[in-house]
Amino acid sequence: MNIQESFADRLENVADKVTVALDALIPSVAGPEGQLLSAMRYAALGSGKRIRPFFVLECGRLFDINERSLLRVAAAVECIHAYSLIHDDLPAMDDDDLRRGRASVHKAYSEALAVLAGDALQSLAFEIVSHEDTHSGPKVRAELIHRLAIASGVRGMAGGQAIDISVKDNTLEMPLIARMQRMKTGALFQFSAEAGAVMAQASPEAFTALGGFAHDLGLAYQITDDLLDAQGEASKTGKAVGKDMDQGKASFVLALGPEQARERARMLAAQAKRHLEFFGQTASILRQSVDFVVERTG
């Protein structure tokens, strides 16, 4: 078994655990609001890579945080991510009928239920983190919530998406693309990487290392996404190839060309690994994750 394969096993193992946690945390389908619950479960329990939960768990293990607590935070992050995908797919936004190879929520249910399922998944994320089962210390819970709210909001994910949809031609400059992606993808990556450090009340140096790691890895992840969109196979990415390019959406590939974009991703990956040196041998699985992120084909 090579390194890519054993890492993929570990990622799948985490994904399974997070799916079990989400299954327990999202109420079962019942009552007159059953359709909404069904839409929430459809979106959150689908077959995602669970890359953000993976970083919550693996970065949290650096600080010996117990897995039960980490899985709750990981589930909350995935609720936020799932809600953003539901809303991004809406006809008024990216208008995607497919997500992870299945009908997106507004196609499988309705636009109205897609809006509400996203809304309710966001609320659920904060409900999960605020519960004492997540961490016995209320100060830690309040800080996790504060960071998650900022990462999700106008200065984070939602703001990044607003910049993304505001640009429909190819004029976006590299610094603005990087800023947009830092907000849209990077903020939630950073929250995921730092959540364990918050729970452990770790040193400023640990936060600096994790923040740098998340920043570089998040951009590398996004560039790889752009490359896959431009060149990948639909069967592996589960969405229409070249769709973002056709829509003239801002991307690293458009701004830099595919060769330079790939070079940039490799440079960022090397930088991300250097940030991990702070944690020594305990971070070996995170080092493998860097290779996985930039070498993946789907």
Residues that bind a copy of itself (CB under 8 A): 27, 32-33, 35-37, 40, 83-84, 87, 90, 92-93, 106, 110-116, 118-120, 122-124, 126-127, 130-132, 137-139, 141-143, 145-146, 148-150, 152-156, 158-163, 165-166, 176, 179-180, 183
Comparison of 58 and 88: residue with beta carbon closer to a copy of itself: 88
Beta carbon of residue 135, minimum distance to a copy of itself (angstroms, whole number): 9
Beta carbon of residue 35, minimum distance to a copy of itself (angstroms, whole number): 6
Comparison of 16 and 95: residue with beta carbon closer to a copy of itself: 95
Beta carbon of residue 234, minimum distance to a copy of itself (angstroms, whole number): 25
Beta carbon of residue 153, minimum distance to a copy of itself (angstroms, whole number): 3
CA atoms within 13 A on the CB side of 297: 4
Comparison of 36 and 209: residue with beta carbon closer to a copy of itself: 36
CA-CA distance, 228 to 222, in Å (whole number)? 10
Comparison of 35 and 231: residue with beta carbon closer to a copy of itself: 35
Beta carbon of residue 249, minimum distance to a copy of itself (angstroms, whole number): 13
- φ, ψ dihedrals at 57, nearest 5°: -70, -50
| Percent helix, strand and coil across the chain, each to the nearest 5 | 75, 0, 25
**In a 10 Å sphere around its CB, with 0-12 CB exposed, 13-18 middle and 19+ buried, how is residue 278 labelled?**
middle
Residue 99 host element (H or E):
strand 98-99
What's the chain's Rg over C-alpha atoms? 18
Comparison of 73 and 290: residue with beta carbon closer to a copy of itself: 73
Question: How far apart, in Å, are the Cα atoms of 197 and each of 9, 136, 262?
Answer: 25, 15, 31
